[in-house]
Structure 1
Amino acid sequence: MTTTAPPKNLRDFYENPAVPVASGTPRSLRQARMLAAALGTADRATILDIGCGDGTAAAVAAPLLKGHRIIGVDWSQDALRRARTRLACQPVRGELTDGGLPFRSESVDAVLFSEVIEHLVDPDAALDEIRRVLRPGGHLMLSTPNLAAWYNRALLLAGVQPVFSEVSLRAIHGRPGTEVVGHLRLYTARALREFVAASGFEVVRVAGAPFHGVPRPLRPLDRLACSRPPLASILLVHALKTPAPKT
């Protein structure tokens, strides 16, 4: 069991420099390749990396998205301070509430939303706000840990708390791992697809990505599981903003 200083609230937790604000490179590369293919030969696109953390993921994606503008967005001042050293464009502070992103409606071509939704109290409001800033037909590239990853299925059968799931912000209880990262929600591939579609998006593709925290001897199996997204460690979703329903 590992412990961190007890947070006073969720915001206090994410402002703690000891809390990880970056995820693995393999996921970032796969997601960037998916977005690059989706944008195709489009002119200079405005891409928001919402929940950019320390800017690592955007920095990894940048070489694959040359000619486009990537803007990091986060609510944590500590994360933004670190991101400024990695991003070409100045990162900005924003929140996933109604009007909480400092961008005009329908002004953004694509959103990278990587390893964020599992941390949110209100994911419905978050997708509503993302939908607000995306232009019609704009791209949402969302990634999140898979509750039904191949090893989580085995752990549950053994009565062990699944990887990625957390019962406390102060310590790890009953699951493998060494870091408390603040996960509040977890999704299966089916649940994520249904949730994104219900939020006003057309799901184009669900893919899988490996998890950097898998023990080295098991990494070949983890990479193999990516060919079956419902079993993969990380779920990658590409979705398009659909027109608002007529009233």
Structure 2
Amino acid sequence: MFEQQLALGIGQNVDRILRERADWSNKTVVDLACGDGRTTYVLRSLGATVKPYDIMPEYCKLDGGAEYANIMDGLPIESASVDVVVLQEVIEHLPNHLAALQEINRILKPGGELFLTTPNRSSMASKFAYLCFESEIIRGTPPSAMESVWGDAGERKYYGHLFLMGAQQLRTLSMLAGFTSMHVHRSDKSRTSQWLMVPFYPIVYAMSYRAYRRALRKSTCAIYAREKNEQLKLNVDGRILTNKFLIASLKK
């Protein structure tokens, strides 16, 4: 049903990562903002019990469709009842990242997981695009008010990429929301980012390390030092700097 969509772009990456796992059997999964239902389709084929939700459920192509839910209004799901939540290409559309992550954390069981994808604001290409024109991609312009509402069904507004976030912000907000760890998966590589790594990676590394050393002089707390070390590693990780997409697993 979704073979063509799953063979391209972010769909190809998500399909590969999900199929590499062998622990989907008997897992209870919520697919938030499921869209046409392609990820629910994959997970069901892998043995998971999946409940799809969307702010515009009429676009779901699955048998049985999807239920309506708007994460910003609270989810109609019992607390601590879900093993995995999938939030694919959604968080960059939400005006309150922390509230969304807190709500997802609420419905996850202890030890549960949020599988999240979003445009990679931390890639070298994206950093350069923001430097040039505060845009998402080098050949693009920033989102304007004219083009920022992608879908509008009465009160169900769906915004464009107004709320992009990078790996550092995602990690910090997820910890504030109650998550304990973040693992970033390898995605397709961005060719532009790979080319930009040659002249700019030494600068990024040097400036990141300088900021890290300055931060350590502010406190002798071991916990603070470990946190700053984790931030440094995240900032100079070549995988994150060259990933085309930001795909992360957050553990509760």
Pair 1:82–1:158, CA change in 2 (3 A): closer
Kindly provide the CA deviation profile for residues 210-242 of structure 1, in whole angstroms up to 9, marking residues without a partner as x.
48xx8xxx59969x9x9611332211111111x
Rounded Cα–Cα distance in structure 1 between residues aligned with 2:7 and 2:142: 19
Deviations for 1:94-113, whole angstroms, at most 9, x for unmatched residues?
A: 12146x21221111110001
Equivalent residues in 2 for 1:100-119, closer than 5 Å: 100-119=74-93
Structure 2 partner of 1:92: 67
CA gap of 1:147–1:204, structure 2 versus 1, over 3 A, is closer
1:67 is aligned to 47
Query: Could you give the per-residue CA deviations for residues 18-63 of structure 1, whole angstroms, max 9, x where no partner exists?
Result: xxxx99844334335545556x446411111101122233334544
Question: What percent identity do the matched residue pairs reach?
Answer: 29
Q: 1:97 to 1:182 in 2, by over 3 A?
A: closer
* Alpha-carbon distance in 2 for matches of 1:89, 1:219: 42
Correspondence list, 1:11-50, <5 A: 25-35=8-18, 40-41=22-23, 43-50=25-32
**TM-score for the superposition, normalised by structure 2:** 0.65
d(CA) in 2 for partners of 1:127, 1:236: 15
- Counterpart of 1:131 (choices 99, 105, 111) is 105
Separation in structure 2 between the aligned mates of residue 187 and residue 24 of structure 1, nearest angstrom? 26
Cα gap change, 1:167/1:128 in structure 2, threshold over 3 Å: closer, same or farther? same
Matched-pair contact (CA < 8 Å) for 1:139–1:240? yes
The answer to whether the Cα contact below 8 Å between 1:118 and 1:186 also exists between their aligned partners in 2 is: yes
Aligned to 1:55: 37
Gaps of 5+ in 1: 1-21, 173-179, 242-247
Pairing partner for 1:170 from 133, 137, 146: 146
Q: For the Cα contact (< 8 Å) 1:147–1:162, is it kept in 2?
A: yes
Comparing 189-198 and 23-32, the one that deviates more: 23-32
Rg larger for? 2
**Equivalents in 1 of 2:15, 2:107: separation in Å?**
20
**Partner of residue 233, structure 1:** 244
Instruction: Say how many residue pairs are matched.
Output: 197
Give the whole-Å Cα distance in 1 for the aligned partners of 2:172 and 2:83: 23
Cα deviation for residue 71 of structure 1 reads: 1.6
- Alignment partners' CA distance in 1, 2:123 and 2:12: 20
Match of 1:144 in 2: 118
Q: Distance in 2 between matches of 1:23 and 1:195?
A: 29
* Equivalent-residue separation in structure 2 for 1:238 and 1:120 (angstroms): 19
Q: How far apart, in 2, do the equivalents of 1:196 and 1:155 lie?
A: 25
1:92 partner amino acid: E
**Matching residue within 59, 65, 77 for 1:82:** 59
CA contact (8 A) 2:87 2:117 kept: yes
SS at match of 2:160: coil
Task: Please report how far the alpha carbon of residue 114 of structure 1 lies from its aligned counterpart in structure 2 after TM superposition.
Answer: 0.8
- Which of the pair is proportionally richer in helix? 2
Q: Does the 8 A contact of 2:13 with 2:188 survive in 1? A: no
Pairwise CA RMSD of aligned residues? 3.5
C-alpha separation in 1, matches of 2:20 and 2:251: 14
Question: TM-score normalized by structure 1?
Answer: 0.66
